Chains A and B, each alone.
Chain A
């Protein structure tokens, strides 16, 4: 058989682009999804893509999901690659979540809290029974009733209430307002908390969840209490140089988790609770809680605890959270490696030949020995 060098990679690539476009569309007899439909009806998927893609734009995230056939990691990748090309207009002021327009807010540490417990929208107490009625379209849905009174405009954070008694460590800005930007500078070790939190916020939900889970099963001594979990809209403010005072440029939906953790104290410090923090775009309590647990676990070193488990090891955690990096590297093994493989093939053949040679000599001399006897 004659060998024909593999050519035509270019044509194959052009063809696969057409083919993937066809596959994405599916059966053309069915109506095509609109971005608004994705944004409205797959809202939590959009939230995840915005969070890990690090762009707050529901329409773009919906587009990414549509383009990726609903594959979250592919959609996150698309959004990230777009994000790189955007100019940095300004750095916002820190958002103030105590001024959040609250939709949901719960605390596991106190039965009642100033501002009240607000259950809001949650799947928590739904029984996970498939709702076959949902398979039909145009179903009439029950409407939730409006409360008689609106919530307070400012709802204090539960964790701040502990602060006044000194029962919980204070949150300190270690960087004098200068915030590290993970997307502009390479991570350095030991990584400070701003790097760690940015990394976790963009980190893969599944991986961060798994790490958080491990800390509660003996691989890290987590004894967490959800101080507060809140969901709602906060204002994003910037201070333009020519104005010198803050102006609101957007309202964004965020989920925030303040996790309270035990700490025995040390010779210098009285016993005090410690903090773990989680924040996501949109509604994602799983991610916010997992993030707060891993944040706390990675604080082991600075709190003088032993670093013994994977979730406490910042270099291990931070190097492996990013699913765009992980996905790229794991899947790159499907690229051609035949040059390296040829090198290995040659070596293994050589080693096997040498092995065979040694074995032959050994049996040869043994037979000679037997014959002599």
Chain B
């Protein structure tokens, strides 16, 4: 995060990163409050963005408030850099602040994401910005904010535990597969956004700063670096993540989250990494290793 005061982007009439400095200041204050109370939803004066609500306006406002001219931005949707909405958001930032962009998780200083945490572990100094459609984890249990605020205030999360128990009673297991509720820093119940539960453990004790922006609902929350993130479960039904029988058809990974791809109309399918950067990097490494082996064996012959 670099200072961005009064930086006007040279190519158009908009302020650096679109938002005016007063708005950025307001959002940064909300972010600081959110980092101070991990998992607590801070109401903020969300602005109307030139992108539809529900399409990442919260994430964009957070990114616009923390990004500086020296930052390197990566934008992913479903783990991929080339999905249309990720492309659209990346283009937005290239237009309004002309920052360097990358597809490499390791090179990025700010990563804006929808529905995934990158497979490559994040480092200190990196910022992961989540787009959040519904910040309130209790919404499906109690739609009234006046009530859910009280439930958070008293840390009254029994209702959520009961909901998970109802799954166990009906299906024999917890049937929540994404947007899996977690308690942050032993205090606030938080929606991790609709990431698959596969990604919940990556949030735990992560060295990076994790920021969450919900534009339509006008809420910001955060998980500071090295903070506990406990996914709700039961002693006899412990939290577990998705696993696949096979591996990625492109890079052979057995540890990444896989997308199912239907390849014909006769039911053929294959599984590939959802994280395109992770998959491409592994493929390139494998190709390089193979080339090195070929070269060595060629020399020997």
Contact = CB atoms under 8 A, between A and B. Distances in A.
B47 interface: yes
A340 B146 contact: no
B146 A315 contact: yes
Nearest to A78: B50
Given A332-B54, A340-B177, A186 B48 contact: no
B238 interface: no
A5 B249 CA distance: 11
Interface string A77-88: 100110111010
Contacts, number: 140
A329 B177 contact: no
Contact of B44 (A3, A9, A186, A351): A186
Contacts of B261: 3
Interface in B253-268: 257-261, 263-264, 268
Given A190-B146, A315-B145, A351 B260 contact: no
Contacts of A13: 84, 87-88, 91
Interface size range of chain B in the complex: 35 or more
Contacts of B54: 328-332
Interface in B1-27: 14, 18, 20
Binding site secondary structure of chain A: helix
Given A324-B53, A332-B54, A340 B263 contact: no
Interface string B42-68: 011111111011110100000000000
B218 interface: yes
Counting chain B CB atoms within 10 Å of each CB, the highest count among A7, A13, A347 belongs to A347
A293 to B, nearest CB: 23
B218 A186 contact: yes
A6 B219 CA distance: 33
B146 A189 contact: yes
B225 interface: no
B7 to A, nearest CB: 16
Contact of A336 (B85, B195, B272, B276): B85
Interface string A105-118: 00000000000000
A347 B46 CA distance: 36
Contact of A329 (B20, B53, B88, B196): B53
Place the interface of chain A in its size category.
Answer: 35 or more
Interface residues of chain B: helix, strand, loop or mixed (majority) = loop
Given A13-B91, A190-B146, A338-B259, A331 B52 contact: yes
Given A336-B83, A339-B116, A343-B242, A185 B45 contact: yes
A10 interface: yes
A343 B216 contact: no
A342 B115 contact: no
A22 interface: no
Interface string B171-204: 1110101110000000000000011111000000
B166 to A, nearest CB: 14
A325 B85 contact: no
A336 B115 CA distance: 10
Nearest to A315: B144
B133 interface: yes
A86 to B, nearest CB: 10
Given A9-B87, A339-B178, A332 B259 contact: no
A337 B115 contact: yes
Interface stretch (B31-39, B74-82, B153-161, B284-292): B74-82
Interface string A340-361: 1011111100010010000000
Interface string B231-266: 000000000001000000110000001111101100
A338 B250 CA distance: 18
A52 B94 CA distance: 30
A6 B84 CA distance: 10
B112 interface: no
Contacts of B274: 338-339, 342
B270 interface: yes
B84 A9 contact: yes
Given A331-B54, A338-B78, A343-B178, A186 B146 contact: no
Contacts of A328: 52-55, 57, 216
A84 B197 contact: no
A183 interface: yes
B196 A81 contact: no
A187 to B, nearest CB: 8
B49 A84 contact: yes
Interface of A: 1, 3, 5-10, 12-13, 77, 80-81, 83-85, 87, 183-190, 315, 324-325, 327-332, 335-340, 342-347, 351, 354
Given A185-B45, A315-B145, A328-B53, 17 more contacts: A1-B264, A9-B82, A13-B84, A84-B47, A186-B43, A186-B46, A186-B218, A327-B53, A328-B55, A330-B54, A332-B133, A335-B114, A338-B260, A340-B194, A342-B260, A343-B196, A345-B260
8 contacts: A1-B263, A12-B84, A81-B50, A328-B57, A332-B53, A340-B194, A342-B196, A346-B242
